Amino acid sequence: MNLLSIGASYRTADVAVLERLSISEPAVPDILQKLLAQPYVSEAVVLSTCNRVEVYAAVSGFHGGLGDICNVISQYSGIPATELAGHLYVHYGEAAVRHSFRVSSGLDSMVVGEAQVLGQLRDAYHAATETDSAGRLLHELMQQTLRVGKRAHAETGIDKAGQSVVTAALEVAAEHLGDLQGRSALVIGAGAMGALSVATLTRTGVGPLRVTNRSVDRADRLAEAYGAVAVPIEDLATVLGEVDIVVSATASTEPVLTRERLTAALAARSGETPLVVLDLAVPRDVAPDAADLPGLVIVDIDRLAASRRTNPAAAETAAVEQIVAGEVENFLGWMRGAEIAPTVAALRTRAEDVVTAELRKLMSKRPEFTEEQRADVSRTLHRVVQQLLHSPTVRVRQLAAEPGGDQYAALLRELFDLDVPLAAQADAVPEIGGKA
C-alpha cells in the first residue's frame, strides 16, 4: 500500500469547475463508500472546501489507484475523465505526505497561513472515521497532519495577522467602498464560514451587522454571540437593499442570490455606493447571470485567487517549510519502521513453532518428566529464544526506520525463509516512494 492524493484547487481550476467538483457534506459518506468499492483503493479521506477538493487514499498501485479515484470523481461531478485530468494535481508516496502537511500548515492555501483548513481537515477525518474508510495508514497520516498544522501555527508567525479568505475578500471590498468601518453588512449562512465571516466583520468594525440563515436557531445563536441582529430568510430581499456588504457562504446547491433578487435590491438602494457581494460559497451563491448588473460588485473565489496579496514574510514561510520537511522525514520513518512489523511477527511465530515442535519431541522421549519439570523446560526454551531475538528485532526496527530501510524486511524474509502474506504486509505498512 502507498499514499495517493488527488485534487483540484484554486491553483488548477476556476470556480465553475470547483463548484462541479464540490462534494456536499451529506454526500461525503457515499463518495467514501464508492472509493472503497474500487479494486485498488483500501482507505480514503475526502476534503472539500470553498477552494479545494481532495482525496487522500491508500492504494495498492499508482496507476490503478489513480484510475479508480478519477473515475469516482468523474462520475460524481459529471466531468469527463479526459477534461478532469487537466484540472487535477497528483501526489504519490512521499509527495503525498508532504502535500498533506503543507495543506494543514496553510502553505498551500489561497491566503497563506490561514488556519481554517485545520478545522476542515478535522471534519474530513471525522467523516472518514464515521464511515470507517480510514485504516491504519490514513489514521496515522491524518493525526500527524493535524498535529503538524497546529505546530506550524504555534511555532511560527505564519498566521499572526489572522488572515483568512474573509479578510482577503474584505480587502477587495475596501477597494470599492473605502474604509469599511461603519458600513452595514449582511452575512448569509451560519455554518463555519458564516461564523468566521461574522467574527471577521465584527473585528473589522463593520456594522450594523445582520445574519440570516435557513435555520433560524443557528442564525439567532450566531448573531447573539457577536451582537449582530438575526433576520428571517424571508426578509432577505428587503435587507439586501439596505446594506453595503453581503457575505454569502451557504451550502445551497442552487444560487441564493438570483438576478431577479439582486435587481430588486439594487433598485431599492439610494446613492452611488455599489453593493459588494463576497461570494465565498462553492457552489456559488450568486447566479452567474447577475454578474453584469450595474452597481453590483461580486468578489468570488476566482477573483480572490487572481488578487492574492496576503502573503506572510518569506522568513515565516521558510520556517514552516522547515517544520514540514522534518515532519515528512519522521512520518516516512514511521512508515518504514512499521513495514518491518509483520516480518518480525512472522520471525517470532517461526521461532515459537520451532520451540513447540522441539518440546513435543523432547517430552515424547522423556515421559518420566513431571508437569513441573515440563513447565520449567518450556519456560527456559522460550526465554532463551526471546532473548536471542530481542536485540536483532529491536535493531532491525531501528534500521528499517532509516532512509533506505525498506530493504530490511525483504532481507529478513529471505534469510529466514519467512512466508509473510501480502495482505499482512499491505495492511501493516505501505511502500515508500513513487512519483506521479
Cβ 247 vs Cβ 278: under 8 Å: yes
Q: At what angle do helices 165-177 and 192-204 cross, to 10 degrees?
A: 50
Q: How far apart are CA 282 and CA 302, in angstroms?
A: 11
Count Cβ atoms below 10 Å from residue 394 Cβ, excluding itself.
Answer: 11
50 given a catalytic annotation: yes
Cis check: omega of the bond before 421, within 30 degrees of 0: no
Which residue is listed with cell 449582530?
Answer: 228
Burial, 347: exposed, middle or buried (Cβ in 10 Å; 0-12, 13-18, 19+)? buried
Residue 267: enclosing H or E segment and its boundaries? helix 259-268
1, 31, 50, 277: the catalytic one is 50
Q: Give the total residue count for the chain.
A: 436
How does strand 41-48 pair with strand 52-59? antiparallel
* Side chain identity at residue 119, one-letter code: G
Q: How far apart are CA 156 and CA 158, in angstroms?
A: 6
Q: How far apart are CA 380 and CA 357, in angstroms?
A: 15
What are the cell numbers at 268? 431599492
Distances in Å between the alpha carbon of 125 and those of 43, 46, 69, 134?
12, 8, 18, 8
Write the DSSP symbol of residue 54: E
Q: How far apart are CA 114 and CA 99, in angstroms?
A: 16
Annotated catalytic residues are 50
